[in-house]
Amino acid sequence: MFSIFTSMHRQPSNDSYYFLRYLFLLYICTAFLMIISAFSDDLNDNEVFPHLSMNSIHTDKFSSPYTTHIEENDAEEKELLMNLLKSYDDVIKINQSIDYDRSFESSSSISSVRFIPPYLNFSQQSIAIPRMQTVIIINQDPEPLELYSLSEATNQFYSTLPKGNLVLSHGENISINIYYLPRTIGNIKTIFTINTNRGNIDYNVIGRSKTNPFRLRPLINIEIPLNSTYEYTIQFHNPYNYSLDINEIYTSDENLRIDLLLNKNIKNKITKVFEHHEQWHLKAYEMKSIIKINYFAYKLHRLHGFICIKTNFIELIILPIEINVLNYPGLYSNVDVLEFSTDKFVRSIAAPISIPLYVFNNNLDPVMLTDVRVEEKHRKYITIQYKTLPIPSGIHRLNQIAELTIHPALIPTSVKRIHGYVQVYILSTNEKLAIEIPFDETVIHGSLDYDKDNTYIYISSSNNEFNNEECRPISFVNLYNMPIAIYNITTVDQEILSSYINITYPSSLVYLYPNQWQQLVCITVKEPSLSNVLSTNIQATIDIHSNLSTFHFVVFLYNGFLTVDVLSDITSGGIRINETNPFELYLASIPINVSRTVTFTLTNPNPIDIAIENFHFTLPNTDIQLDYMQLIDGNGTKIKSTNLYKNENISQFILPDQHLAVFSLTLNGADQPKFHNETITFKTRYQILRINIQYEIVDGSIELTNKTSLHIDAFPNRIETLDIFTHNKFNVPVNVFRMDFITYGTCFAFTWNDSPMGNVKLQPNKIQELGKLRFNMAPLCEEPPSEATCYCGLHHHPSFKQRWDECVSALNTYQLDHSLIIKFRNLWKEWTSLVRKQRIQTNIWIYTDRANISTPLTIDFVWPSVLDHMFSSYSRAPLILDFQVIFINITKTQNIIITNPSLNLVTYSVELHKADSDNFKSIINDQIFTISTASKRVDLISGTYHFQLRPTEQITFTVSYRPTQMIKHEMYFIIRNNLTIIESILVRGEGGIGSLRVGHRKATASMSPIIISIDEKQYKLCLNIQSNPLLRKLITLTNTGNMKTIIYDISFDQMKCSGHGFSAPYCTNIEIESNEKYNLQIL
């Protein structure tokens, strides 16, 4: 037996109560240990006793005092004791054979034998916690009663008779102890059978089980392949309002190893004892990982074992463990039950929870995953993401095949427990169910709600507005159907909040019963000072730790200020913010008598609505109007106002919390050149916001004359170049001396035309090339704010590059390729999600000595392709190279162009693979499809072409298709590379034959005569030359082949279209599709 002993301090308690409880539980523990300690698989006389140390477990052999009471040759005793560890499958079979319809009013089937109680009801008992009750057997017959043996039907109940011959005289009795160790939730009934000299006597026992208070569960129905390892981390929950210590942990098998979860990185020996104590000490309602069990499947057998845990309150917990070691080919799971939450339950208000799904493949070859699903009833709230990919073989390779996500908010309130299976299908002759992995979760509906209004706290910047309130209470209500015990309240933002507010919490446990309100938090605002002025709003999360879970609520500290900005879309052209003053806006120069409309935004980041109390502006001949609103962090949906807020009416506008308002500013033109420095003023309860507007009216213009709008497709390791042309509409030369890039300025570079230092002179009324604009993402990759900045190419990911370089062929790299593709595609999604919140639509500003102009520029961060020269870069649909139907034994070819769109040297490998998922071997030697290239810079190794391309280089591969049978063929043209990892083209075609039926007979040659028969009546008509008769004959031509048939010529005795009095009105280029008919008209 494995053991872990820890020395702990007990909490003070009532001595007499705990003394009696100690005696009772000690009696149970001793009996249980006598039964179960003897049953490892080999029933060894000796045990291993692991001693708990700071960094490891070491073992010593010792003789167990519990095993000395069991005789080695007592087969009946061993058989009885093995019932404790009977497999769950055996229990089901036994239960199916029991007639539970028999009455439980009287257990004894022999009236002369009496039981006290008449039948045994264990009532409700927690899983994995044993319970014992005593039954008295009384002989009421004058004849002696001999008791031979006792047996029961399930492994959740067990008992035994005292040793020796048991003979009860008239009126004598004997007591037996019946133990109940629940393994599954629900009701269970069993029958104990006593074999006597009067026949078999039945005794009925009932039990009802509930969930374990420590959130533990038996580990049963585990199936693992031979030579693999099973691991499981046991998490222990303290359900009490006081601390708890774990004193001992036993295992029943020396191969069922216990790994400690101590922190081995701490090297200070003085702290070791404290560290050791903390590992086994649980505070009130705390949950932590205590041990990890580890079992190596060294032989084919079924392990029936257990883990025994004892706490400082003498509570005994026995976790049955059942591991079935198999050597069958197939898929195996690394878990017996999927767990969505470490809490062992799911709260209905929780955010979606995602967990990975792993399997081992114990087959000799990879298998193709085709589907991962759950039962129909669970599909509304459980979603699965997977891809149809091969699963590599090997029991030491754990393969993630899918990701399961449970959406608690979608679970109906009537559902209290979700139980089902995740079904994994693989490709076989037909789709085959490979494995079912169970899941079982309890659903708790309800919430812990609170008064949100009191969490919005205004922080004034002035003492005049300071309101010295004593406390702002925040109350909570329990909307669950069970009590909640709150034992701690914390926040990780304490340092930030302490400058502005004081937060006080209850110092002791707080109980919230269903529908009860209770104040849990009190917030006091500090008096403002120069050191604690709130410049930006703060959102801080406060965590409420309870026996149910950790709940989070947000406190908002706000100053009531509005901010001004410009949009990052096409409407922001012609306006920009002064980089040194966020309340100053610049407008591009406006020609005389030209109207110009620009937009700016007013943002309310506060948790409350802000009313505009007063509004005015000094801009002449100008209109300012509210266009629309939208959420700050929303999806960009525009909210149109039902009221018209324009000019002075804006003073009636209320800007909702967490919204931004988009205003259009229209300058209606001026007839005289002039520089303007004007203001727009918004007054609210909290601030007077003044926005300075600077612009100039000029007597000319400079315009960009590019044929299309400026657009850049960008990705890492690429430089995009644009030629910039301008038209100077001034009557005098204009000197260009500067160009600014508002967004991603470090990525832009501009080369001036014929002037390396700038200062280009534009001639009047002339179109000139200003220079070349370049965009390069490299500066973003040099100091990336996140890994997602460089989302493709292995140059910036050394660890991935090393793994890729070690694999030269796609024959054995599909797992690596898949993981890299998933990695980089996710990085791309993260990056594009990030930049949507920034500005991928920007403006270029050109400064001259006569006017300043602004022009829009859009940047798309794309996923590149090494096939962009062949296919559109905007289409991400699967690429197909279709040969359609080709006449058998005829060769057709098509070209595939591979290019290097990046700035770096790219390494490639190209090969063909069968589309048949059952065969993952390359078929480069299959003469149906072949590939070749005229390039001399490639190496052909084992059917794989290897080469490198420098920037902008390309190579052409020729795919040849020569069908030999009238069937369809499919293959994949695979291009592995260190830029996009892997790309593929589905190459497909079909072998065809031409087959034509003329009338009811088959045409056997390309020159097939058409026989026209004339009956006697028709012949007589033909003899009448004066009547000049015209006969019409329709002949049905049927294309019975699988390809289009083209009739190029119809001849009458080698005379085309007509001869000997016969003619065909349509005699050339007649096309008949496969399985179609054509009526040929002969005159």
Render pLDDT for 340-358 as a digit per residue (tens, 0 to 9): 988 888 999 888 999 999 9
Residue 75: per-residue pLDDT = 44
DSSP secondary structure letters along 839-877: -SEEEEEEEESS-EEEEEEEEEE----TTTTTS-TT--S
Tokens of 886: 């080709």
Structure tokens at 403: 């990701």
pLDDT at 396 (0 to 100): 84
* pLDDT confidence of residue 570: 60
Set out the domains of the chain in order of their start, with CATH numbers: 329-445 (2.60.40.60), 457-558 (2.60.40.10), 563-699 (2.60.40.10), 703-861 (2.60.40.10), 879-992 (2.60.40.10), 996-1082 (no CATH)
In the prediction, which pLDDT does 27 show? 47
What is the rounded CA–CA span in Å between residue 196 and residue 161? 12
pTM of the model: 0.66
Q: Amino acid identity of 48?
A: V
Burial call 811-822: b when 16+ CB within 10 Å, e when fewer: bebbbbbbebee
> Which segments of the chain have a pLDDT < 50?
1-106, 264-274, 809-811, 871-876, 917-925
Strands 892-899 and 954-961: antiparallel
pLDDT at residue 608, rounded to an integer: 93
Rg (CA), the chain: 42
Nearest to 172 by CA among 194, 200, 146, 190: 146
pLDDT at 276: 63
In whole angstroms, give the CA distance from residue 575 to residue 742: 11
In this predicted structure, what is the pLDDT of residue 331?
Answer: 94
pLDDT value, residue 96: 42
Beta bridge partners of 473: 522
Name the residue among 427, 415, 419 with its Cα closest to residue 388: 427
Task: Write down the pLDDT at residue 325.
Answer: 94
- 8 A C-beta contact, residue 1008 and residue 1024: no
